């Protein structure tokens, strides 16, 4: 049997957030067994926290269909679980992932921040790629459609209003085919919110990886903050909400350190809470 904790990351007031499975230890599990556990849990990702000879922990991430190199919300869920189980005794940790060695910071109020790679601004795409995927008339043409990465390639899709963002009706099969062709994980649709402490409301679609829509996406939020830093406003913090359409509102914080218009480092963070534990046969 293997114990799997269920935790929600990027929660707002201990509600909502994005759920992930968390397995501690169990280095003897094979990739096939890990994938089967992730499929059984049914969350967009399940994370396996393992020993590392390069960092404090090694983290592996599995969707219901395959392994992915990095997952922000599953990382937050893992460290929220470790903290709630009193398994953390310092404010800073390193993690080994397939995307590299990253830093994790645990704040006194239990905010967990995860360092990501500095941004790579990749291809700018024509809106025609969304023909048949979503309502093209909802696209905000003041901003480019661009692939941005702070660890994973995501397509930033600006939408012209919160109402249109809510009304987006994706064709997931076409989005899966399009993102595969563009070598991207998914589409991160957003609309800016003015006169609020929330910078933007977002929706994320990654059907290529078996995730039609998820309620919080840390890596894509980091990419979006860097995108907004380049095309909208340069500021030290961006706050995003995601999951409104799913009834699981998440709040995601991205902090950026920069000088002279250049990003030095970027961190995505949020709060997490425990949902329970279950045991599965392996």
**pLDDT tens-digit series, residues 81-127:** 999 899 999 999 999 999 889 899 998 888 899 988 899 999 999 99
What's the pLDDT at 228? 98
What is the chain's length?
282
Distance (Å, rounded) from C-alpha 127 to C-alpha 139?
8
pLDDT at 216 over 90: no
What's the pLDDT at 269? 92
| Catalytically annotated residues | 45
Distance (Å, rounded) from C-alpha 142 to C-alpha 133?
20
Q: pLDDT digits over 34-64, tens only?
A: 999 999 998 889 999 999 999 999 999 998 8
Q: pLDDT digits over 188-215, tens only?
A: 999 999 888 999 999 999 999 888 998 8
């Amino acid at each position: 049997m293997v114990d799997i904790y269920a935790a929600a990351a990027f929660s707002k007031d201990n509600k909502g957030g994005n759920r992930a499975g968390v397995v501690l230890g169990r280095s003897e599990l094979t990739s096939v067994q890990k994938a089967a556990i992730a499929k059984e849990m049914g969350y967009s990702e399940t994370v396996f926290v393992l020993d590392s000879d390069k960092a404090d922990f090694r983290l592996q991430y599995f969707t219901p269909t395959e392994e992915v190199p990095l997952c922000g919300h599953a990382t937050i869920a893992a460290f929220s679980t470790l903290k709630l189980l009193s398994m953390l005794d310092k404010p800073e940790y390193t993690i080994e992932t397939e995307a590299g060695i990253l830093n994790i910071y645990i704040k006194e109020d239990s905010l967990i921040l995860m360092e990501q790679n500095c941004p790579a601004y990749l291809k700018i795409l024509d809106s025609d790629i969304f023909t048949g995927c979503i309502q093209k008339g909802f696209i905000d043409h003041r901003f480019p459609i661009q692939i941005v990465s702070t660890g994973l390639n995501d397509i930033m899709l600006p939408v012209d209003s919160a109402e249109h963002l809510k009304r987006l009706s994706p064709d997931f099969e076409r989005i899966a085919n399009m993102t595969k062709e563009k070598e991207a994980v998914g589409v991160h649709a957003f609309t800016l919110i003015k006169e609020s402490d929330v910078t933007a409301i977002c929706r994320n679609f990654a059907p290529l990886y078996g995730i039609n829509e998820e309620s919080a996406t840390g890596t894509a939020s980091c990419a979006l903050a860097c995108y907004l830093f380049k095309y909208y406003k340069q500021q030290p913090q961006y706050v995003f909400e995601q999951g409104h359409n799913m009834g699981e509102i998440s709040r995601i914080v991205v902090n950026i350190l920069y000088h002279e218009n250049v990003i030095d480092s970027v961190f995505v963070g949020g709060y997490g809470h425990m949902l329970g534990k279950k045991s599965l046969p392996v």
